[in-house]
A and B are shown apart, each in its own frame.
Chain A
Amino acid sequence: MKFTLHIWRQENARAKGHFETYPIDGISPDCSFLEMLDILNEHLINDRIAHPVCFDNDCREGICGMCGLYINGRPHGNDDGITTCQLHMRKFRDGDEIWIEPWRAKPFPVIRDLIVDRSAFDKIIQAGGYISTTTGGVPDANMIPIPKHAADMAMDAASCIGCGACVAACKNASAMLFVGAKISHLALLPQGRVEAADRVRKMVCKMDELGFGNCTNTYACEAECPKLIKRQNISRLNRQWIGALFGRDRRE
């Protein structure tokens, strides 16, 4: 397959970036998007055309959340519930023009080319996304009774991989889906409920301080989340916040 790639190139965080156009040919339809970029980079290096295009990736199987690319107007490309590393070139048409951009948000500054600094998410987690007691050894699974539906909802929320697609997709660069997921997987379980009010207060304050936007109920996040995290988690975040305003640990 043959493509025309328009890729954001930016020397470093302070440099002014621009789009560079690279034609590429002979790509197998079964090639993944990142493999296609590997092939491009090989070509750029071997033919001494330019520095290789820098992009984040690690697991290449949809679990680490590193490979965030904004492809033709959609985070992780034109498919639902996948990361960029799970996107294959057969999803494109032969001869397509492909625009590849980094995540755009004030708290996610570009480090180089397509790589952004997502440590803002870590700072939100550090602010309160944990349980502060030592948990000790693994207790018997039935020691603490947990309703099945609560366990299921917590598990769904816990599947967030912190990729940042929700922020990238949101017209306001809001991190509410991420924070909602991180609040939920703890607040839904008895061990997490104890500190729920304090946690939501700290995490939301940090989120605001870092410069993420405000949610306007657009739900682009939900549409683009590779782990299909639902907006019910944002609703829960709002509910927890209202509870915290009145100093209560909300029971979920």
Chain B
Amino acid sequence: MDAPLAAGPGAARAPAGQAGAAARPPLVALEGVDKAYGREPPVLHGLALEVRRGDFLSLLGPSGCGKSTVLRLIADLIRPGRGRIRWADPAAAASLGVVFQDPTLMPWATVADNVWLPLRLRGLSRRTAAPDVAEALAAVGLGGRAAAFPRELSGGMRMRVAIARALVTRPQLILMDEPFAALDEITRFRLNDDLLELRARIGCTVVFVTHSVFESVFLSDRIAVMAARPGRIFGELAVPAPYPRTAAFRASPVYADWCRVASATLAAAMEQGSDDG
């Protein structure tokens, strides 16, 4: 094949900036993980993935390839059939932030009470938790809507509440499962910008699942491309463009280049996936 593919999985180890990401200490690693649901053929097979401290790692892959399953394994919602998930710091495992594709807010609780939930489950009273809740809401730009109920908010605002809820415990690692997939493009771009700005401020590690090449390139410094049936890591890309990345980055030729590389890698992964299936 020609240039873009050659620059894909093979060249991923080369570009500058990758060295920085590689030097980061590991946070959690999936080692030789197999996962099957019931008697179905395995969803994941021999999956190896290392998340390092400070990564913004995107899992990019076609729908149904097992991206959500990987996140559910990391969150300990399901156990692997074979292989293991090794945490460098058990404390990080105990305080995860998670954002699902749907905001999954409690409809009966106000915005502030939804964000309070993780702290409340740790035994913090509303009063004790109030400063943290207010800070998390302010961080996502919803300081003024604390008393609103979820159904009074737009889809984008609900997602912001879900992000505030994930942030409120100051987790070391945040897992995000296609959080913006259901939003319109303009809202998605804004939330992408805001997410990067937010992360620059709090500096946590993020594992971000998406099936959008553009989103993964814009947001992450590492992209793990998955192939399907069985799900596995097909290749890794580094996106060495420095942060902060703003709307200007989206218009830059570098961005377009990396999108092309990521697209080609994804296409190759999908081809191989369908060969096997």
Q: A and B: real partners? A: no
B residues apposed to A, CB below 8 Å: none
A residues apposed to B, CB below 8 Å: none
